[in-house]
Amino acid sequence: MNYTVVMPVYNGRQYFETALSSAIEAVTLQDEIIVVEDGSQDGGVEDIVASHSQRANIRYFAKDNGGVSSALNLGLKHADNNLFAWLSHDDVYLPSRLLADRAFRKYSPNAVTVSNFYLFDDVTKQLKFINSVHHLSRNQRFRLLSRRFLNGNCLTVPISLLRAQDGFDESRWHTQDYAMWLQLLKQTSFVAIPEPTVLSRQHPEQDSKKEPQKARDEYVSLLNEHLTLKDVCDPRNIVDWLRIAQSVYG
């Protein structure tokens, strides 16, 4: 079982080399890294890739800006391996990222796995542990809608599953990951790897920080698409309903 790590990059030069180095440390010679520069204007990414080209199997593609979904889909199109992993240009793989998944794959090669992660605030320099595994314990789909606890960089997915969904929804610029996970949850459950494998960075230049209303509108569209009458009527969901209300109106 070999991995394709897809790295979308948009105006991320200041973080990208650190992210790329962490991916290189995580992969083997049988794995590949696909870097997709999504119409960046800050330059330098191709040169960084070239400077590290002897360290791993890395391929570079450049395209006009179309959003993260379009960059991920281009990576999927060119992927040669059977497992997909995602690394944003401003996040970091910990050394355990693929080691933990690789050990699990010996027993369940077609599973969708998800791990815990650390959330790092680039402004305050505070580090927070996010326990995604805890939230996977009950009603995964509704928990996902209400708590939005999954980091796409922590998931490993058979590429055949993603291609069967025709890739990520390119009309979504802020919620393309959750739209995909909700589709996959209709077919399979997510399996927890109970250790942190990613350091995810928060900073003011992220699209969700710069365009909060657009991100909220996309979130509301997800709610409308996936909530059911059973969700509404189930009293066990009251805490999650309050979280949804806070996200929409808070």
Please state the length of the chain.
Answer: 250
Q: Which domains does the chain have, with CATH numbers?
A: 3-249 (3.90.550.10)
Q: Which pLDDT score, from 0 to 100, does residue 215 have? A: 83
Residue whose tokens read 């459950």: 189
Q: Which pLDDT score, from 0 to 100, does residue 250 have? A: 58
Q: Which pLDDT score, from 0 to 100, does residue 86 have? A: 98
Q: Which pLDDT score, from 0 to 100, does residue 35 have? A: 98
Q: Which pLDDT score, from 0 to 100, does residue 145 have? A: 74
User: pLDDT tens digit string along 20-37?
Assistant: 999 999 999 999 999 999
Q: Which pLDDT score, from 0 to 100, does residue 85 have? A: 98
Residue type, 65: N
Residues of the chain predicted below pLDDT 50: none
Whether 130 contacts 235, CB under 8 Å: no
Q: What is the pTM for the complete model shown? A: 0.89
| Residue ranges with strand state E in the chain | 3-9, 32-38, 58-63, 83-86, 92-93, 112-121, 127-130, 155-158, 190-202
- Concatenated DSSP letters for 71-129? HHHHHHHH--SSEEEE--TT-EE-TTHHHHHHHHHTT-TT-EEEEEEEEEETTT--EEE
